[in-house]
Structures are given as C-alpha cells and as structure tokens.
Amino acid sequence: MTVTGFEANRARVIGIAAELFARNGYHGTGIAELGTAAGLGRGALYHYIGSKEAVLYSISKEQVDSMNAYAEQLLDEDLGAEELVRRMARGLLRNIAEHRAEWAVFFREYTALTGEWRDHVITARERYEGYWRQALDNGVRAKVLRQTPRLLVKGILGMLNYTYLWYEPDGELTPDEVADMFLDALIEGIRA
C-alpha cells in the first residue's frame, strides 16, 4: 500500500503530538505549541488532525489496535500455550519500546477522550485483555498452566505495560529478555 503525502504528514504530526503529550500532558499542550513543533500554521495543522481530541484518539487507539491484530494472528497459529503467552508478552514489550511516547499518552491521557472515542478505546483495551485471558485459558485446557483468577490478567498486563515508565531501548536488556524474565517469574514462581 502506497502512503500518500497527506498520510505521511499526518503521521508526522501525530508523532510530534505524541511526544508533546507524553512530555507535557494532553491538557498541558496547546494547539499553537503543536503547530510550532510541526512547523505548520493553524489551518494546515487542522487539515491534518481535525482536532486535538482526534489526535489523542489516534494516538490512544493505534497501538492497542496493533496489539489486538498481533494477538489475533498469534491465536490463529498452532502454538503451545506457554509459547503463545511468551510471544504475546514479547510483542507487547517490543511495541512499547518502539512507541514509548504513544503508550505514555495512552496510559495517562486516554481518559480525556469523550463519547464514542473513549468507548472505542476502552473496547479495544478490553478486547486485548480478552486475548490474554484466552491465551491463559488455552494453557489451562492444555494442562500446562493452572487456573488463575481473572484479575491476574490485569496484573500481568500491568507488569508488562508499565515498562513504558522505565525501559530504555539502549539499556542492558532487550524487550524480549525483559518479557522472558517477567514470564519466567510468573510461570515458575519466585519461591526459592
């Protein structure tokens, strides 16, 4: 699929907005500031984004949609339960490492969305949690994982998701190594 000039410029503006929102907050970033950072006047800026809330929606939904598509792809493959969970974790941490600003905006700012936009983001997030539940349930059915409380999915995702706060792409560990370390602790336990 060929990317048009409009799409490339829109993606550039949204990327700049993600950085600004991550650094200053959604409410702490003005349209004038975004226009200056993007090198666009107000009219051109609105041509690409529509509204500030539309940008927040785009940032908030894009990565969750990407992770939903990835989870759906993995669930369609013939993977063992542990491998499925491991690949889901690795994929999530790779995405977070590559899109830290977007995830920071998602986690901190999606609640500023209103109406249908907020509903769509919440639905997408719940769908992703559902894929994790499905992966864990596959492990229970295969008798390789024990039954876990439904709340554990939120705990696992919380542990993985909040790497956006501290993970350094140039650091000591790769996203896959962090994901494996977390899953090893979960699957094997931390008891001596």
Tokens representing 20 are 């600004």
The pTM (predicted TM-score) of the whole model is 0.91
pLDDT attached to residue 20: 96
pLDDT of 42 over the 90 cut? no
Confidence of residue 165 (pLDDT cuts 50, 70, 90): very high
End-to-end CA, the chain: 52
Confidence of residue 149 (pLDDT cuts 50, 70, 90): confident
Angle (deg, nearest 10), helices 42-49 and 52-76: 30
Per-residue pLDDT tens digits for 71-122: 999 999 999 999 999 999 999 999 999 999 999 999 999 999 999 999 999 9
* Length of the chain in terms of residues written: 192
Per-residue pLDDT tens digits for 20-41: 999 999 999 999 999 999 999 8
pLDDT attached to residue 46: 87
Closest-CA residue to 59 (of 112, 1, 6, 115): 112
pLDDT of 2 over the 80 cut? no
Residue 110's Cβ-count burial label (10 Å; 0-12, 13-18, 19+) is buried
DSSP 145: S
Give the integer Cα–Cα distance in Å for 102 and 11: 12
C-beta of residue 22 within 8 angstroms of C-beta of residue 83: no
- Tell me the domains of the chain and their CATH numbers: 53-188 (1.10.357.10)
